[in-house]
Structures are given as C-alpha cells and as structure tokens.
Amino acid sequence: MKYTDFVDLKYEPAETDLICAFYVEPEDISLKEATGGVAAESSIGTWTELTTTEPYMAKLAARVFAIVGNTANIAYPIELFEQGNMPNILSSLAGNVFGLKALKNLRLTDIKLPAELVKSFKGPKFGIQKIRSLLKVPERPLVGTIIKPKLGLKTKDHAKVAYEAWAGGCDIVKDDENLSSQRFNPFEERIVETLDGRDKAEEETGERKVYMANITGETEKMLKRAKCVLDHGGRYVMVDILTCGWSALQTLRDQDFKLVIHAHRAGHASFTKNPKHGIAMRVIAKVARVIGVDQLHVGTIVGKMSETKDEVLENIDALKMDMAGLKPVLPVASGGLHPQLIPALMEYFGKDFVIQAGGGIHGHTDGTFAGATAMRQAVEAIMQGKTLEAYAETHKELEVALKRWRE
C-alpha cells in the first residue's frame, strides 16, 4: 500500500475507532501523500510497498477521512491497540511519525478514544465533586499555594511557610515540581513536619486543609512515598506526570490508594508550545484523565504562562467533557498569579478550579499569612459580587496586595 492508499475521504469512522486530528505541513510531497504517510506509518504501512502484507491486514489500516486546510482527521481501528496500555497507544499515534523527513511540521492537536479503550483504564478516583467533599468546600474556587522558594528551604522552614499559608486562608499547599528528597529537605522528614503544621492549621481555623507532597521518582520509590503519605495521614500526592512517565502514573493509579492525585505538567511546553509541531496540551489532558489523575495544571490565560485563551479553555474542556463516564477532573491555574488577577480567572474558569499562587502569596509585603489572606479575600469579593477595590476598603491584606501588584 502506498501512502495515498491510506486516504479515504468517503470513510465514515466506526464508534470503536480511535480518532486523531493532526496539523500537517509537508516538506517536499503533496498534502495528500503527507497525511497518508502519517496514517500509514502509525498503523500498518511504511515508506515502500511490501511483499509481506497479507490481505487480512487491510481492515487494520488507519484512514485519513477528512482534510480541512492542513488538518487531517485520521481513524484508527481499535484492534491496533492493546487495552490498558497507554505507552502502546501513544507509541503508535505519536511515535516515529514526528521524525519523518518528508514532514516539515506535525502536531497532534486532538484525540478521541473509543469507550472500550477508555474503560480499560481506571480514570479519576475522586474527580471534582469528591475533592470538594474532602475539603468541605462546596462552591468557591479552591485557594492554594506553592512553597517558594521552590528549592533550598530546610524542612523546618518549609513546614513553617506551609503552616502560615494554611492559617492565612489557603486550602492547599503543595511542593514545587523539582522538590524531591534533597539533603536539605528529606522527603519523609518533610511529610511529618508539614502535616503537623496542617493539623495545627485545621485545629485553629476549623477548615479542612491538604498538603500535596511531590512523590515523583522511580516507580517503586513513588509507591513507597505514596504509602508514607498515607501512613502519616496525608490526603493528596503530587506527580510530575510527564517526567515520571505514563507507565509510572498508571502504576500509581492502579494501586487505588485513597489519595487524590494532583498532576503537575512539568516539561509540557517541550511538546505543546510550538503551535505547528508537537502535541497539544489538550491531548495530554485527555490522556492523564483516562489514566486517572484528579487535578491537572491547564494554564492561566492571565499570569506568566504563554498559552492563549483558546488553548486554556480547550484544556479545561478536555477535563470536563463527557468521556465514557469518567469523572471530571479539577483544572488548576498556576503561574504568575496574584489577587489582582482573580476576577479575570474566575470569569474564564468559573468556580470549579484551583487557584495555585506562589509568588503572589509569598511575595505579599506583610508575608505569607497576609498573602494567603489577601488571596482568599479576593475570591470572597467575587463570590459576593463585589469589586476587589470595594472589598479592599475593609480588608487590609487585600488592599496591600492590590497596591503591590497593581497593573
């Protein structure tokens, strides 16, 4: 079969087909041949005709069934994939095709997995509603922070910053993506001391608080760290899903620990940032949801990250859209956030999301406690239908924050 044989614009995908959308820019061949090449090389074809192809294989060919502009929609028969094996699925769809010399650019922009494949994975254990029940926060956005500086604090000081954030009004405190078990802040020691601070803050505030400990590491080590969190009364773990890998993430989820899985997307921009090449964050979001994360960073629209409004809204949609009965995943906004940005964030995200601010809390003129209070006040203002400026007249922490980060 030639590349062009994999293009069939009259084909109507079956319900069991896996559907991908690819942006394709050929280098020195026609668009039809290029899109057919993607379908061929990611299913049963290759660059030349073969003598080993058997007639019964024809039904396994991927088919380009639509080409609009430079975007090709390709249908893959479900028989091409091993159920419950995400590395196999992604090695097929996003493997060697990205290295084809005949393609100048290739970007996987969307994916739709058939229900049979989706159901071969566990999916989210908690999802939005169970997270809200766990934290006893039924409606407003959750307010969280990242310990800053992201590296360097000794365990005692790390736990102190966490306590001040919780006491000031944060629901959530999390490690940053590159804090693991360095000598200055060993993992188990950090778990014990930080959760002690959580318990103290809960007793003082009467609110439920959670700590997202970064357990990222070699798979067996991750499982041991997750058990350590459980043993010390933790409720959450955080995983750098791209750097630890899909297999490690799935192994963690398959343990069915009574722990919310917070997914950090560290490294995603190496796949997602080029609008013409790589893999869209929307695809990563869907894959992570199918495997079973409960929360995922999706960008901010405002703040310091580069994603556009449309991209972030697509990411949010990927976490909440109907997917064979999977629980919806809680979007996380993180990156350059501060109280001044809360009205815009809530306009774009609604109420079901996590506001995850680092410098926008710890950079408050009066310290972490005041920074957490200011962020919580900003959320309260919008929930009450008030402007930040009006609310700040009777809430000094917010007033100071607005002056600190006035745009």
Q: Which residues form the catalytic set?
A: 148, 264
Would the annotation count 282 as a binding residue?
no
Strands lying side by side in the sheet with 278-279 = 63-68, 71-76, 18-26, 103-112, 278-279
Is 265 annotated as ligand-binding? yes
Contact 27, 104 (CB under 8 A): yes
303 carries a ligand binding annotation: no
What does the longest C-alpha to C-alpha distance in the chain come to?
80
CA 185 to chain centre: 26
Q: Is 110 annotated as a binding residue?
A: no
- Backbone φ and ψ of 173, nearest 5°: -130, 135
263 touches 239 (CB < 8 A): yes
Three-point CA angle 259, 265, 268, nearest 5°: 160
Is 217 known as a binding-site position? no
How far is residue 168's CA from residue 361's CA, in Å, rounded to a whole number? 10
Is residue 297 annotated as involved in ligand binding? yes
350 is an annotated ligand-binding site residue: no
The answer to whether residues 264 and 239 touch, using CB atoms and an 8 Å cutoff, is yes
Confirm whether residue 370 is marked as ligand binding: no
Confirm or deny that 150 is annotated as ligand binding: yes
Is 359 labelled as part of a ligand binding site? yes
Q: What is the 3-state secondary structure (H, E, C) of 230-258?
A: HHCCCCEEEEEHHHHCHHHHHHHHHCCCC
Residue 174 in marked binding region: yes
- 356 annotated to a ligand binding site: yes
Q: Which residues have CB under 8 Å from 332's CB, separation 6+?
A: 144, 262, 295, 296, 297, 298, 353, 354, 356
189 a known binding residue?
no
Q: Are 207 and 136 in contact (CB under 8 A)?
A: yes
Annotated binding site for Mg(2+): 174, 176-177
Known binding-site residues equal 150, 174, 176-177, 265, 297, 334-336, 356-359
